[in-house]
A and B are shown apart, each in its own frame.
Chain A
Amino acid sequence: MKKYYLGIDLGSTTSKAVIIDEQDNIIGRGITNTRSNYEVAAEIAKQSAIYNARFYLLQNRLSDIIERHPEYRRYIKEMEDAFQYLQFSNRLEWLRRQLLQTAGETAKSEASHHTMLAEVERITGEIQEEVKVDYLERDLGSKSQFFRDIVGEKYNEKVSCLSKELFEPMMLLFDKSINPVENEMISFQFKHLVEESMALLNAKYANLADVGNADESVHFDAELNLLKGNYQRVSDSLKEHINYVSEEEFHIAGMVGTGYGRALLPFPENCIKSEILCHAFGAHAVFPNTRTVLDIGGQDTKAIQVDQYGLVTSFHMNDRCAAGCGRYLGYIADELNISLNELGPLALEAQKEVTICSTCTVFAGAELRELLNVGEKREDILAGLHRAIVMRAMSLLARSGGVRNEFTFTGGVARNHAVLKYVSELVRTNYGQDLTINVHTDSIFMGALGGAMFARRNIEVALPEKKKKEELEEVG
């Protein structure tokens, strides 16, 4: 039986899970922004990592065919998109029910209750349709957005055109309903959902075949053209493999939990590791020449020095508050009423950088408003804010010993391109123009990866406490 190892990184904003095989290859990743409790978050992340792993296995089994027949790659990718859509759709159905229920509790009058019910049906129906298109045709799956973000944005859009009397209660309705829905564990039968996905895809291609060559863009898409007449054969020949991967039992031979919430995990103590060690180990595994790791997460920033084995030699973390971390960006986004993902791109449009004094989350809002009042442009302020955050990270880097060799930037914030720009700029100017700077698309998963790798190495952290307990048990 094959052995797999699971690493779970419970961050302050997102929880990540990574599954690796016996060669440290990542075979599955899962992420959730559930904040209900860490146990649920860990389970959701783990489940989605396992789904992801099954797709990985599928691709692996078919690697020969995929190489020879690119339409297979295309089909599997789209199947995964459809899979995501179905998960979304499932959760949306939960949301719809929750909204209807909450409407009953919050409506001020019979009439307004009635209107609200009708609006909920309309809005969720519309979202369903739009998102289906987004997933099946517009590649929404690759943007790895969370349910809350997708649905929240669409819901806002749809509610904002309503009358003022309706707008407020409808917004309130959403705010009251989203949390329980987001925190709900929804289990799926992998096989069942994959079959549904295939049905969706097949329907899509059946329709496409009818359309013929009318659509120009389709005309130039070779894989799609291949699939068009072929989808039935592709899907038929996939079935056997899907059966196999669906039944594959993921024997998790070891797991390690890390991150901000690790102490709350229902894991035995020796399966819990400091996120510093995990992030460094993970980053080093992906970029083996790494000697310095900077991780900016939601709640803290860590500057870590590692040796040739990926083991930490020293580290420095931000002091007491979350100033200059991911959370800070979150507050700023809220303050500007835009989504977190838009911050970086906006900041990159700046013409200049406004000097920001406070990276304190408490004062950030006030300073931001003040700067807007005196006529500074949003993007220029954002550029300054991003720079200020990076300056704080630079302090920690300096304190941890600077950048000595290859530098790897990890954590959720590494996905923000403005942050990345300033980090690269400042690291290069201060520690050498020729420095290699690594950022990986999986940067957010480094902690979980490191955890899984520790799990594989099955390192017993022989805690004296635990030993004492064991001894006592023996005596008893």
Chain B
Amino acid sequence: MQKEVIKEKSMVLQKEMLAKLFKDLSQAHETGKKVVYTFVPGNLSELIHAFDMLPVYPEINALQSGMRKKSGDFIRDAEKAGHLEDVCTYVKCDIGMMLNGNIGPTGEKLPPPDLLLLSYTGCFTFMKWFENLERYYPGVPIAMLHTPYQEGGKITKEMRDYMVEQLKQEVIPKMEMVSGKKFDESKLAGILENSARAEDLIVKIFETTKNKPSPIDAYFAGVYYIGPINTGFRGRPEAVTYYETLYEEIQERVRLGLGPITPEGEMEEERFRLVVEGPPNWTSFREFWKLFYDMGAVVVASTYTKVGGVYDYGFRHDPKRPLESLAEYCMNCYTNLNLPQRIDLLEKYITEFQADGFLVNSIKSCNSFSAGQLLMMRQLEERLGIPVGFIESDLVDPRYFSYSNIKNRLDSFFQMLGQRKIIRGQMEMEAVV
């Protein structure tokens, strides 16, 4: 019997926020609001907001198309238009959606961009993506913000200077031009204050998984939790309210000793605690999730929820250093970290959240994530002796989600974790006897 899923207040709030954003976007032409297309990693939501413009995130649209089972057709249309099979499916899904009238996730038409803000952070394909869009929207200004990679595992002064200069000389002037408004640093600073508050809250939220049972799933539900902070609400009071509400709800679950909520109600028994690396598959998101909660597996930390910013180490947007902190924010996004940093972060998660297993969902489309995951996995296995698992799928191309293959591997993985717990105990007992 399926339990009735009670919508938490936070879910309602999030839904309202997104509905309003898409409504505003659909009316942008009438209201005269300018529209900025940009990316989640290294997103400058606060800056866009400071110019009273509205953000559109093609990645989010693509993943929404995936969840709504539309991506397969969109990708095919993009391939018909000459795009190749081997490349990033987010790009193709987005282009396919555009070729089909640019209808957004709420069914409302998305306005064309007034500015393409190429926040070039942690993913080479972003550049190609917007170069493509630039051709599809001739004449629309494009602003490049090149985020240097943390190749040495740290942010240097010259990296920060480079970014601040780009903001000053490239991004802000183009925003002023498009919006017709003068840059107001104090306004930005005010927005950044809210950002820092939301960031504090989201860190606390993801730390609640230290509880046993974990009150939330930090991957499958986590992708919903990061929605507001990643899609233009960071810096807005609504986001602060949302995260306050969410945090309260989760604290209540902790008090009651409850496990995470799944699409089929509460997870009753926490059997496996996992740390997951890599984005989820969106086309079969529910089926994918079900493979986990049916086995009593809960994800206690994931790196995917850090693509829009890593706040774990204490970084917060800083009203006193607005442009500098925007720059640091960008450079701190997960895919802008080098491999040793990524491994260290995962090690921290596995240890702090007491994970039983580490799983990689390796995404065909995303070399930024995927290239190196095998080495990362080996390193973690060696350092921590943790059982590891590896599955492959794709973001939004349904052709690359093989349910039976993934199920087969996950079954083996969970059985492996289960048996390690039981048989190891038995064998060690036998050995003692």
Contacts and interface: CB of A to CB of B under 8 A. Distances in A.
Query: In their complex, do chains A and B touch, with some C-beta pair under 8 Å?
Result: yes
Interface of A: 273-277, 309, 311-317, 319-320, 399, 401, 457, 459, 461-465, 467-468, 472
Contact of A314 (B388, B424, B427): B388
Contact of B415 (A274, A309, A316, A399): A274
A73 B296 CA distance: 53
Given A274-B415, A309-B427, 11 more contacts: A312-B416, A312-B419, A313-B416, A314-B387, A315-B412, A457-B426, A459-B423, A461-B415, A463-B294, A464-B268, A465-B294
A457 B423 contact: yes
Contacts of A465: 294
A464 B412 contact: no
Given A313-B381, A463-B295, A472 B1 contact: yes
B131 interface: no
A309 B416 CA distance: 12
30 contacts: A273-B415, A274-B408, A274-B416, A275-B412, A309-B423, A309-B427, A311-B416, A311-B420, A311-B423, A311-B424, A312-B416, A313-B387, A313-B416, A314-B381, A315-B412, A315-B416, A317-B409, A319-B392, A320-B402, A399-B374, A399-B390, A401-B378, A401-B381, A461-B418, A463-B295, A464-B268, A464-B271, A464-B296, A465-B294, A472-B1
Contacts, number: 68
Nearest to B364: A319
Nearest to A399: B374
Contact of A309 (B390, B402, B405, B424): B424
Interface residues of B, number: 32
Interface of B: 1, 268-269, 271, 294-296, 374, 377-378, 381, 387-390, 392, 402, 405, 408-409, 411-412, 415-416, 418-420, 422-424, 426-427
SS class, residues of chain A in contact with chain B: mixed
B387 A277 contact: no
Interface of chain B, helix or strand or loop or mixed?
Answer: helix
A111 to B, nearest CB: 51
B379 to A, nearest CB: 11
Contacts of B416: 274, 276-277, 311-313, 315
Contacts of B388: 313-314
A468 B266 CA distance: 12
Contacts of A314: 377, 381, 387-390
Chain A to chain B: the 3 pairs with minimum beta-carbon distance, closest first: A274-B412, A276-B412, A312-B416
B419 A311 contact: yes
Contact of B419 (A277, A467, A468): A277
Contacts of A311: 416, 419-420, 423-424
A328 B390 CA distance: 25
A401 B378 CA distance: 7
A360 to B, nearest CB: 16
